[in-house]
Copies of this chain bind each other. A is one copy, B any other.
Amino acid sequence: MKATIYDIAKEAGVSIATVSHVINGKGKISKERREEIRGIMARMGYKPSMIASALTSKKTYALGLLVPDISNPFFAEIARAVEDEGQRHGYSVFICSTDNQDEKVERYAALLQQKKVDGVIIGTGMKDPSALEPLLHDNVPIALLARELPSVNVPTVIVDDYAGGAAAAEHLIALGHRRLAVLAEQESISSSRERVRGFRQAAEAAGVTLDPALVRSSGMKDSKDRALELLQGENRPTAVFCCNDMLAIGALRAAKQAGLCIPQDCSIVGFDDTVLASVTDLTTIAQPIERLGQTAVQLLLRHIGQPGERSERIVLPPVLVMRQSSSALS
C-alpha cells in the first residue's frame, strides 16, 4: 500500500523521528544520512500525509475563500489571484460561493472551521455578521476583501470606492453630461453605497444634482429591466453610471432594446474592469483585481503569523479606463 513514514524509517534503518527531521529540515542530521533518506523517499514515491502532519502541527496549509459567486467574472479573477498568491506561500484554497445568503455564509463558516483551514478570506457580503460566528468562535484568522465589516477588527483590503464613484462623475461631467443616472447594487452592499456617494458628491461639486428618480438599485438578473426604466422614462439621462460591469452590460442591452446608440445617445460607465468590460468595450472604473487578491492573502498570512498585531487596512486606488461606451455629449 501507500508508504508511510514508518516504511521509510524501516527501509533506512532509522527512527521515524529522524525521517521527520529530514522531511522538515529540522534538527541536525548527518549529510550522508539525509541524502540516503531523501533517496529512499524519492525511490518509494513517498510524500508525507498533510492530514497527519496537520493533526499535530495545527497547520493545514489550506485557506477558505468566500465570494458571492465564483462564476461571476469579477470573483473568478479575484479567485485566480488568491489562488496564485496562496500557492506561492504553500497554501491551497477552497472555493465557497455564498450567493450573498447568510445561511450559506454560516454553513461554509462552520465547514471551514471543521476543516481547520489556516485562514479565511471574506469577499462576500452578508446581512448579519454573526453568520461568521463559527469562525470567530474558534479564532480562525480572517481577512476582508473588497468588503468592510465595521463591527469586527480584521485586516482589510478595499479599493477606494468613493474615489471611484467620483472619478466616474468627473469623467462624465468633463464630457459635458449633466443629466446623470445611477444603477446601483442592493442598498445593503457598502461598496455600492460608497460608489454612489462619491459619484453624487463629485457631481454636486460640479454643480450637478442627481435626480432621485434616476437613481435605482438592481440585482444581477433584473439590471436590464431597471436600466430600461431609466432609459425609457421621459427626460431620460444622457449618461448612466453603473456600480459594476454586469449592471453596465444590462444597461448596454437595455439601450439596444430601447433603440439607443451607445455612446452617441447615451454614455455608460461601469465599475470593476473585468473581462466583460474589455469584451464589450465598456468604459469603466478599474479595480486592481490582481493586487486585491494578492494583498488579501498577504494580510491574512501576516495575521496568521502574528495574531496579536493590530489589523491593517489597505486602500487601493481605482483607475478610469476609457473605452467606447462613453463620449462627449452631442
A93, CB-defined interface residue at 8 Å: yes
Chain B residues with CB under 8 Å of A116's CB are: 49-51
A97–B92 alpha-carbon span in the complex (Å): 11
Q: B80 and A115: CB pair below 8 A?
A: no
A50–B47 alpha-carbon span in the complex (Å): 21
Given the interface contacts A70-B83, A80-B97, does A113 sit within 8 Å of B47 by beta carbon?
Answer: yes
A73, CB-defined interface residue at 8 Å: yes
Chain B residues with CB under 8 Å of A94's CB are: 62, 92-95
A206, CB-defined interface residue at 8 Å: no
A28, CB-defined interface residue at 8 Å: no
Q: How far, in Å, is A323 (CB) from chain B's closest CB?
A: 11
Chain B residues with CB under 8 Å of A114's CB are: 47-50
A189–B97 alpha-carbon span in the complex (Å): 30
Most chain B CB atoms below 10 A, which of A55, A62, A275: A275
How many monomers of this chain does the complex have? Answer: 2
Q: B83 and A95: CB pair below 8 A?
A: yes
Within A70-92, which residues are at the interface with B (CB < 8 Å)? 70-73, 76-77, 79-80, 83-84, 92
Interface size on A, residues (CB 8 A): 43
Chain B residues with CB under 8 Å of A159's CB are: none
A111, CB-defined interface residue at 8 Å: yes
A135–B98 alpha-carbon span in the complex (Å): 30
Q: A69 and B80: CB pair below 8 A?
A: yes
A280, CB-defined interface residue at 8 Å: yes
Chain B residues with CB under 8 Å of A225's CB are: none
Chain B residues with CB under 8 Å of A76's CB are: 70-73, 76, 79
A167–B275 alpha-carbon span in the complex (Å): 28
Within A274-302, which residues are at the interface with B (CB < 8 Å)? 275-276, 279-280
Within A107-125, which residues are at the interface with B (CB < 8 Å)? 110-111, 113-116
Chain B residues with CB under 8 Å of A134's CB are: 45, 47
Query: Which residues of A come within 8 Å of B, CB atoms?
Result: 2, 45, 47-52, 54-55, 60, 62, 69-73, 76-77, 79-80, 83-84, 92-97, 110-111, 113-116, 134, 137-138, 249, 275-276, 279-280
Known: A92-B94, A94-B95, A279-B280. 18 other contacts (CB 8 A): A45-B134, A47-B113, A48-B114, A50-B114, A51-B60, A62-B115, A70-B76, A71-B76, A71-B79, A71-B80, A73-B73, A80-B97, A92-B96, A92-B111, A92-B115, A249-B279, A276-B276, A276-B279
- Interchain residue pairs A-B with the least CB separation, the first 5: A76-B76, A71-B80, A71-B77, A50-B114, A47-B114
- 17 A-B pairs within 8 Å (CB atoms) are namely A2-B138, A47-B113, A47-B134, A48-B114, A52-B55, A62-B94, A62-B115, A71-B73, A71-B79, A73-B76, A76-B76, A80-B97, A83-B95, A83-B96, A92-B94, A95-B95, A249-B279
